[in-house]
Amino acid sequence: MTEPELVEGLINQNKIAIQYLVDHYQKDVIKTAYYFVAIMEDAEDLSQEVFLEIFRSISRYKKTASLSTWIYRITVNKSLDHLRRQKRRNIFKQMKSFIQLSHDGTNIISKDSPTLDTQNEDKEKRQVLDKAVNSLPENQKIAFILNKYEEMAYKDIAEIMNLSVSSVESLLHRAKLNLQKKLVNYFSEYAKTTT
Amino acid sequence: MDCSFIRRNLFSYQEHQLSGKDNKEFEAHLHSCSECSRIVSEFQSVTSVIELRKTEEPNPFAGTRIIQKLESEMESTREKTNPLYLRILQPLSVAALLVIAVIIGFSIVIQREPGISAIINHQQDIQAIQSDLNIQDFVDEDETFFAIK
């Protein structure tokens, strides 16, 4: 099935076209969402939202970009929305636990400090990396994830982000510098706490 | 080469982006500086998570769930997009039924309430008297009330 045939089929709500779309893009959509949200179940739920969005807005799809670029854009936007919602929920949770703990008179700070030599070292490593990546400015985060996880070329990232190739290069450079700085700080702090 | 160069070029070293000379000096520094050596090893350990994530696969039934979601969406859009004549006829028939119901209700109330029918009868009597007296022939409209009195 060619891309125009697929688009036409989706507009006409053709079941074969829908099946083809899901078969072809579900893995990429779920994996991209997973690289952003870091939990596979959340990424799978998000992928449903992505495909619904594709289905609802296919008539507005402009053929200036390829279908896969358009799908990646929707996936990235949905993932970022999810992270924003999660951030708001976390702030609320932290405020709630702060109020509860201060009411109990318990110490808040020492409870969840990350350490690398726990039983679940792999989980800790993931947390450290996710925290560092999530603290990057949004554009740097998108460029970094698409390049390092998706192994996308600068040109493709530029198309998805609607930027020039040189802007993507600059974003990636800054993302890496920021990440190095954050991770080195974390490792230095960690060394101080263990000695 | 100093420690700050090492800490600014962790990705470049990992991605083999350093020149041959810089790469040699980088590694020589790691042999002489335990702190930088530890940081590089921690950095590589944490960023190895990226490669690990790439190997993880989604649930094989995720696609089926997406299809189910899309099918239920198709069903609900079909219900929303009824033909035009149905969308016009439905509210019109409901409105017509309401009007008929109000008229029937009103006529029942008139028949059952003696007060209302008496008022209507009284008004009919007045109209009959007015026409008998032929008031309009000899009085002005404004003086009708007095003329009747």
Per-residue pLDDT of A28-63, as tens digits, reads 999 999 999 999 999 999 999 999 999 999 988 887
B-proximal residues of A, 155-184, CB under 8 Å: 176-177, 179-181, 183-184
Question: B111 with B117: CB under 8 angstroms?
Answer: yes
Question: A90 with A100: CB under 8 angstroms?
Answer: no
pLDDT at A106: 46
CATH topology classification for A1-86 = Rna Polymerase Sigma Factor; Chain: A (1.10.1740)
CATH class, domain A114-195, is mainly alpha
Among A95-104, A142-151, B66-75, which is the least confidently predicted range? A95-104
What are the boundaries of each domain within chain B? 3-54, 83-148
* Mean pLDDT computed over B89-100: 89
Model confidence band, residue B74 (pLDDT cutoffs 50, 70, 90): confident
CB contact under 8 A, A184 and B43: yes
Which tens digits make up the pLDDT trace of A58-93?
A: 988 887 789 999 999 999 999 999 999 988 887 767
Read off the tokens for B117. 């029918």
Give the HSE-up count for residue B65: Cα atoms under 13 Å, Cβ half-sphere: 16
Q: Does residue A13 belong to the interface with chain B, where contact is any CB pair within 8 Å?
A: yes
Determine the distance in angstroms separating the CA of B14 from the nearest CA of chain A, rounded to an integer: 12
CB contact under 8 A, A149 and B47: no
Model confidence band, residue A192 (pLDDT cutoffs 50, 70, 90): confident
Q: How far apart are the first and last CA of chain B?
A: 123
Model confidence band, residue A111 (pLDDT cutoffs 50, 70, 90): very low
Q: Does residue B39 belong to the interface with chain A, where contact is any CB pair within 8 Å?
A: yes
pLDDT exceeds 50 at position B13? yes
Which tens digits make up the pLDDT trace of A132-172?
A: 999 999 999 999 999 999 999 999 999 999 999 999 999 99
Burial class of residue A114 (count of CB atoms within 10 Å of its CB; 0-12, 13-18, 19+): middle
pLDDT at A108: 40
What are the boundaries of each domain within chain A? 1-86, 114-195
| Assessment of whether the complete model's pTM goes beyond 0.90 | no
Among A146-155, A170-179, B102-111, which is the least confidently predicted range? B102-111
Q: How far apart are CA A128 and CA B35, in angstroms?
A: 19
One fold for A1-86 and A114-195? no
Q: Which residue has the tokens 């003329």?
A: B147
Q: Does residue B67 belong to the interface with chain A, where contact is any CB pair within 8 Å?
A: yes
Which residue among A26, A125, A177 sits closest to B62, beta carbon to beta carbon? A26
Q: Does residue B42 belong to the interface with chain A, where contact is any CB pair within 8 Å?
A: yes
pLDDT exceeds 80 at position B45? yes
Determine the distance in angstroms separating the CA of B81 from the nearest CA of chain A, rounded to an integer: 13
* Mean pLDDT computed over B140-144: 55
Four-residue CA torsion sign, A102, A103, A107, A108: negative
pLDDT at A107: 43
The residue of A36, A122, A183, A185 whose CB has the most chain B CBs within 10 angstroms, and thus the best one to mutate to test that interface, is A183
Q: Does residue B68 belong to the interface with chain A, where contact is any CB pair within 8 Å?
A: no
**Planar angle of CA A127, A191, A112, nearest 5 degrees:** 40
* Mean pLDDT computed over B38-64: 92
